[in-house]
Amino acid sequence: MNTTARKTLKKTVLSAMFIAIGIILPFFTGQIQQIGNMLLPMHLPVFLCGLICGWQYGAAAGFVLPIIRSLIFIMPPLYPTAAAMAFELCFYGLIAGLIYNSVKDQNIITLYISLISAMVGGRAVWGISQMVLLGIDGKAFTWQMFAAGAFLNAIPGIILQLIFIPAVMTALHMTGVLKFRNKVVAVK
């Protein structure tokens, strides 16, 4: 097996692992939707998948995770919640992986830039998805609903993401499992 095929296989297996983690993590919130909405357990493995495996894998894992979980456990409800989450998590994996893996100097700063950019954009994608999906049913999606769902209720989850994900990436770097990529500076 050549190097490219080996890397692809490794990323595919890791993506499947992140999807499996995303399916199981919500059980730690007791399947209680309000707690899940606060801690956002499915977001963590999607961000990690995008950062570690790349944007293509992060986007794919993010899109299928809420749909698979909804089909298996009926939580989150498929329509409109899991459908809107599929677009949101797809965006998270895509943007976090795209920004982080496209910079020459990977470090904690670029990690935070990737995370925050993906979080802000992903919440906008979630809001647009909710507006479209609820609009199909003739229901309104208000600015207050967006602010509460995207930011106010999600503050504990956002804090968790901003602490846990850099901690995992730093631990992977320090153990040598996944090194931050740094520019080589020539010494004269």
Ramachandran sector of residue 30 (left: φ over 0; alpha: ψ -120 to 50; beta: rest): left
Position 153 in a domain: yes
Number of domains forming the structure of the chain: 1
Position 50 in a domain: yes
pLDDT of residue 184: 45
Query: Where in the sequence is the domain holding 90, given as residue range(s)?
Result: 3-175
CB 151 within 8 A of CB 123: yes
CATH classification at residue 13: 1.10.1760.20
From the CB of residue 70, how many other CB atoms can be counted at a distance below 10 Å?
A: 19
Residues of the chain with pLDDT under 50: 184-188
- This prediction has a pTM of 0.92
**Taking CA 98 as the corner, what is the angle to CA 133 and CA 160, rounded to the nearest 5 degrees?**
70
CA separation, residue 123 to residues 112, 119, 181, 185 (Å): 16, 6, 28, 38
CB 42 within 8 A of CB 65: yes
Position 186 in a domain: no
The contacts of residue 53 (CB under 8 Å, 6+ apart) are 11, 14, 15, 18, 61, 97
Residue 139 sits at φ, ψ, to 5 deg, of -100, 155
Q: What is the pLDDT of residues 49-102, one digit of tens each?
A: 999 999 999 999 999 999 999 999 998 999 999 999 999 999 999 999 999 999
